[in-house]
Chains A and B, each alone.
Chain A
Amino acid sequence: MKATHNVHNFLEQFWPSTVDGLALGSIYALIALGYTMVYGVLRLINFAHSEIFMIGTMAVIGALHALGVSSLYGGLGLVGFVIVLAFLAGLASGASAVVLELVAYRPLRKKGASRLAALISAIGASLFLQQLFARIVIPEAFDLPKEKGALPVQGHFVERDNVIEIGDLVISNDKLIIFVGAILMMVALDQFVNRTRLGRGIRATAQDPETAVLMGVNIDRIVTATFAIGGAMAGVAAALFMLRFEEAKFDVGFLLGIKAFTAAVLGGIGNLRGALAGGLVLGLVEMYGAALFGTQWQHVIAFSVLVLVLMFRPTGILGESLQQARA
C-alpha cells in the first residue's frame, strides 16, 4: 500500500519534478564544465572551482547592491538584466579562475610537483577563498559588521510568473531562462572547442600534451584559457542560480560544487557533452527520487545512481576525455 502511495505521489509530482530537476541540473551542468575542462587538460580536480562559483554569486549580488536595484524585473526586461549580470559574473569568475591557476597551480606545475600536491593546493585554495570572503570581503563589500560575514546576502530582483502552463506542466520565467540559458552556453562552448584555433589547442593538449608542444601549442596559454572558460561558465551558472534563489553566502558553492563534480563524473569526466548529460540526469534523478521516496533520501539516491552507473560504465555515461567530444 505504501509503495502504491509512493508511485501515486510520483505521478502526481512528475511534471513539477521534471521542471525543477532540469532547472537544477542545468546549474549543475554549467558548474561541471569547469571541473571537466580542467581535468581534461591537466588531469587535476580543481576543488576550488566551487569558490569560483561563489565569487560569481558575489559579483551578482554586489552589482545588484551597487546599482541599487529595488524594483522587480519580469518578462523581457528580466532577460536583458540577466544577460548583463551573467556577463559581469562570468568576467569576475573567469578572472578569479585565471588568478587561482597562476597562484595555486602554475608554480607547482613548473616545478614538476606530483598531482597530489596540486590536489592539496586546490583544497587549500578552496578553504582560503571561503574564509577570505566570510571574514574580510563580504563584511567590507556590503558594509556589514565583521561577525556578519558568514550570513547570507540577499537581493530581490525577480518578478516571477508562469510563462508556460499546459495542464500539470507549469514553467515559471526564471526556470525557463535557466534551462534555455544553460543549453545556449553549452552549444556555444561546444562549437568553440570544436571549431576555433584555441579550441583545437585545448583538445590537442588534452589528447597528448607533449606532442601538442612539439606542434607549437603554447601550453601555458591553453591552461590559462581553460581556466578562464571554465570559470566564466561557473560565473554564468552563478547568475542563473541567483535568478532563482536570490541569495549568496561564502559557502554557497560547497554542496553545489560536490554535486557538479558528481555530475561531471556521472557524464564522463573530461567530456563536455558528458557534463551536460550528467548535470541534467543528476538533477532529474534527485527530484524524481525525492518524489518517490521522500526528500530525506535525495542525496542518497543521487549518489546511489552514481555508483550504479560507474559499476556498469566506469568512465561515465558518455565516456572520458575531452578529445572524444569532436563533432
Chain B
Amino acid sequence: MERLGTLRRNKMRVTGAVAVSAVLALSAVGCGGGDDDKGSGGDGVTIGFLGDLTGENSGIVIPPKQGAQLAIDAYNATNPKVKITLKTYDSQGKGEQAVPLAKQAITKDKVVGMIGPAFSGESAQADPVLEEGKIPNISASATNAALSSNGWKFFHRMVANDNVQGAGVGTFIATTLKAKNVFIINDQSEYGKPLSQTVKAAAEKGGAKVTEDAIDPTASDYSAAVNKAKAAKPDAIFFAGYYAAGGKLIKQLREAGVKGRFLSGDGSLDKGLSAGAGGTNADGSLIACPCLIDPTGKAGEASKKFAEQYKAKFNAEPAIYSAEGYDAATAFIEAIKAGNTTAEKINEYLKTIDVAGVSKQIKFGANGDPAAEDVYIYEVKGGTLPLLGKASEAKVS
C-alpha cells in the first residue's frame, strides 16, 4: 500500500512539475509587459498559509496559522500603504493535496509569499513547485534536515532542523538523563526516520546503548514494537513521530508494563499526546522541540507580550509553533514594509533580514535554515506542557 502511495505521488509530482512549467512558460509569454502591475496594485498583496488545517495532526498547524494571522491583522490595523491578505490552503498534511494547492496559490491567487508547507513530507513535494514559481516560502514547522540541502533559493524556515533537534535531545538523553539503555521507535515518515537516526547517533556518542524499531502510524496495533521494547528493558524510550500515533504508543507501552521515561520530538508536542495515552500514562514524558512555547514568559519579555496578544485574540494560550508562525509572518511584513511587493524582491530581502522575533532572532542562513539553533524541553503534566528550559540547561526532577 505504501508502495502504491509513493508511486502515485511520484507520478503526480512529475505531472505536477510538467503542468507548472507549462503554466509558467505560458504566463511568461503572456504577460511579458504586464509584470509591473502585479504587485504595485496599491490595494494589497496576498500571502498564503499551506498546511494540515483539518487532518488528524492539525493540532500542530492551527497555532502557527493563528500566530501568522495575529501578526498580519496587527499590521493591517496600522493602515499601511500595502495591506496583506492571508489566504489559507488546507493540505491535510498530504503531499498530493499540497502540490495542486501550491500551484493554485501561484497561478490563480498570485501570492507573493507562502508560510508553509507545515510538514516535512508535503514540503518535499510542494517546495519544488514554489521554487519553480519563484515564491519565497517560510515554513514554521517543517524540520526535516534534508529540505535545506537541495540548493533551493526560495526555501526558508523558522525552526532549527532535525539534525539540530536530534543532536540536542540525544545528548540530553545520554548526559542529563544519564540513560544507559535507549530504545528508539520511528514512524517511518520523512520526519520520523531521519530524526531517529540523529537521536541515535547523539545518544550513542554520549555512551548509551541504542536499540531500534518502527511502527506504522496508520495501524492501531503497535504490539510488535511494544514487545521489542519490553524485551530491551530501556531506561529511556524516544519516539520519532507525530502525537496521534505517539499517544497510542505510550498507552500500549504502559499497558504492557514497559517502564522507562518516554521522550519524543516536536511532532508530539501537543495535548493530544496525553489524551491518546489515556489517564496519567503520559505524565512525566519529555518532549523536545526547536520551537518556543512560553505562555508565562519564562524565556523573556517578547514571549510574554506575544502570549497576552494571542490570548486576547484567540482566547487560547499560544501553542506549538504559534510564535514561529508569527515570526514567519513578521519576516514577510518587514519585507513589505521595506517596499518589496513582488515575490522576487521579497526573497532578496529575506536574505538580509535580521530583526528580533518572538521565538528567536529572525535571520536566515544561505540555505534557508534559521541562524538560531536552540532546542527546548517540555514536560507532559496532565493536559499541559510546561517549558522546562533549553535542552543544554534543563533540569529534570
Interface residues of A in 243-262 (CB under 8 A from B): 244-247, 249, 252, 254-256, 258
Contact mask B213-236 → A, CB, 8 Å, 1/0? 111101111011101101100000
Least CB distance, A69 to chain B, in whole angstroms: 13
Contacts of A294 in B (CB 8 A): 213-214
Check if B278 is an interface residue, CB within 8 A of chain A: yes
Q: Which of A23, A149, A245, A287 contacts B224 (CB 8 A)?
A: A287
A291 touches B221 (CB 8 A): no
Is B54 in the interface zone, CB < 8 Å from A?
Answer: yes
B357 interfacial by beta-carbon distance below 8 Å: no
Query: Complex Cα distance A147/B228, Å?
Result: 37
Assess the B224–A290 pair: CB atoms within 8 A.
yes
Contact between chains at A295 and B56 (CB < 8 Å): no
Q: Which of A9, A24, A172, A296 contacts B221 (CB 8 A)?
A: A24
Alpha-carbon separation in the docked complex, A247 to B222 (Å): 14
Among the 9-residue stretches A12-20, A115-123, A223-231, the one with 4 or more Cβ atoms under 8 Å from chain B is A12-20
* Closest chain B residue to A303, Cβ basis: B1
Chain A 1-43 interface 0/1 with B at a Cβ cutoff of 8 Å (1 = within): 0000000010011001100100110000000000000000000
Asked if A298 is an interface residue, CB under 8 A from chain B, the answer is: yes
Q: In B25-56, which residues have CB < 8 Å from any A CB? A: 53-56
Q: Which A residues are CB-close (under 8 A) to B2?
A: 299
Contact across chains for A154 and B228 when beta carbons are under 8 A apart: no
- The answer on a CB contact under 8 Å between A17 and B227 is yes
**A-side contacts of B361, CB under 8 Å:** none
Residue from B58, B188, B227 in contact with A13 in the complex, judged by beta carbons closer than 8 Å? B227
Residues of A within 8 A of B272 (CB): 151
**B50-73 contacts to A (CB < 8 Å):** 53-56, 58
- CB of B226, distance to nearest CB on chain A (Å): 8
Tell me, yes or no, whether A160 is within 8 Å of chain B by CB.
yes
**Contact between B215 and A246 (Cβ–Cβ < 8 Å)?**
no
Whether A16 lies near B227 (C-beta < 8 A) is yes
Q: A20-B227, A172-B255, A287-B224 are in contact. Are A247 and B214 (CB under 8 A)?
A: no
Instruction: Report yes or no: A247 in contact with B228, Cβ–Cβ below 8 A.
Output: no
> How many Å from the CB of A156 to the closest CB on chain B?
5
B216 and A20 contacting across the interface, CB-CB below 8 Å: no
Once the chains are docked, how many angstroms separate the CA of A290 from the CA of B221? 12
Q: Whole-angstrom distance between the alpha carbons of A252 and B99 in the complex?
A: 26
Complex CA gap A294/B263 in Å reads 21
Tell me the interface secondary structure of chain A in the complex.
helix
Q: B360 near A: Cβ within 8 Å?
A: no
Do A152 and B1 have beta carbons less than 8 Å apart? Answer: no
B248 contacts the other chain (CB 8 A): yes
Residue numbers in B under 8 Å from A156 (CB-CB):
278-279
- Select one of B53, B213, B221, B230 contacting A245, CB under 8 A: B221
CA distance A249 to B275 in the complex (A): 14
Q: How many residues of B contact A (CB 8 A)?
A: 34
- Measured CB to CB, the nearest residue on chain B to A172 is B255
Residues of B within 8 A of A51 (CB): none
- CA A24 to CA B216, docked complex, whole Å: 15
> Which chain B residues lie closer than 8 Å to A245 at the CB level?
220-221, 248
A residues less than 8 Å from B256 (CB atoms): 16
User: Chain A nearest CB: distance from B212 CB in Å?
Assistant: 8
Are A154 and B276 in touch, CB under 8 angstroms?
A: yes
Query: Any chain B CB within 8 A of the CB of A305?
Result: no
- The A-B contact count (CB < 8 A) is 89
Instruction: For B92, list chain A residues within 8 Å (CB).
Output: 150
A47 at the interface (CB under 8 A from B): no
Most B CB within 10 A of own CB, among A256, A290, A294: A290
Q: Is B244 close to A, CB under 8 A? A: yes
Contacts of B225 in A (CB 8 A): 290, 295
Do residues A20 and B223 form an inter-chain contact, with CB atoms below 8 A? Answer: yes
B275 touches A154 (CB 8 A): yes
In the assembled complex, the Cα of A131 lies from the Cα of B239 at a distance in Å of 30
* Complex-state Cα separation, A287 to B58, whole angstroms: 31
Does A320 have its Cβ within 8 Å of any Cβ on chain B?
A: no
Is A101 engaged at the interface, CB distance under 8 Å to the other chain? no
Q: A147 with B231: in contact, given A245-B248, A286-B224, A287-B223 (CB under 8 Å)?
A: no
Once bound together, how far apart are the Cα atoms of A147 and B56, in whole Å?
10
Q: B56, A150: Cβ atoms under 8 Å?
A: yes
Query: Which B307-358 residues have C-beta < 8 A from chain A?
Result: none
In the assembled complex, which residues on chain B have CB atoms less than 8 Å from the CB atom of A255?
1, 216, 218-220
Residues of the B chain whose Cβ atoms lie less than 8 Å from the Cβ of A241: 220
With a cutoff of 8 Å between Cβ atoms, the chain B residues found around residue A147 in the complex are 53-54, 58
B218 touches A254 (CB 8 A): yes
Contacts of B228 in A (CB 8 A): 9, 13, 291, 295
Query: Given A12-B231, A154-B275, does the pair A256, B220 have CB atoms closer than 8 Å?
Result: yes
What distance in Å separates the Cβ of A245 from its nearest Cβ neighbour in chain B?
Answer: 5
Cross-chain contact B224 with A295 (CB below 8 angstroms): yes
Residues of A within 8 A of B220 (CB): 241, 245, 247, 252, 255-256
A298 B216 Cβ-Cβ under 8 A = yes
Indicate with 1 or 0, residue by residue over A275-305, a CB within 8 angstroms of chain B CB atoms: 0000000000011001100111011000000
Task: Assess whether A13 is in contact with B278, with CB atoms less than 8 Å apart.
Answer: no
A32 to B214 alpha-carbon distance, docked (Å): 27
B255 touching A249, Cβ below 8 Å: no
* Subset of 6 A-B contacts with CB under 8 Å: A20-B223, A156-B278, A241-B220, A247-B276, A256-B220, A291-B227
Chain B residues at the A interface, C-beta cutoff of 8 Å? 1-2, 53-56, 58, 92, 188, 213-216, 218-221, 223-225, 227-228, 230-231, 244, 248, 251, 255-256, 272, 275-276, 278-279
Q: Which 8 residue pairs of A and B lie closest in terms of their CB atoms, listed nearest first?
A: A290-B224, A20-B223, A296-B214, A16-B227, A147-B54, A295-B224, A13-B227, A156-B278
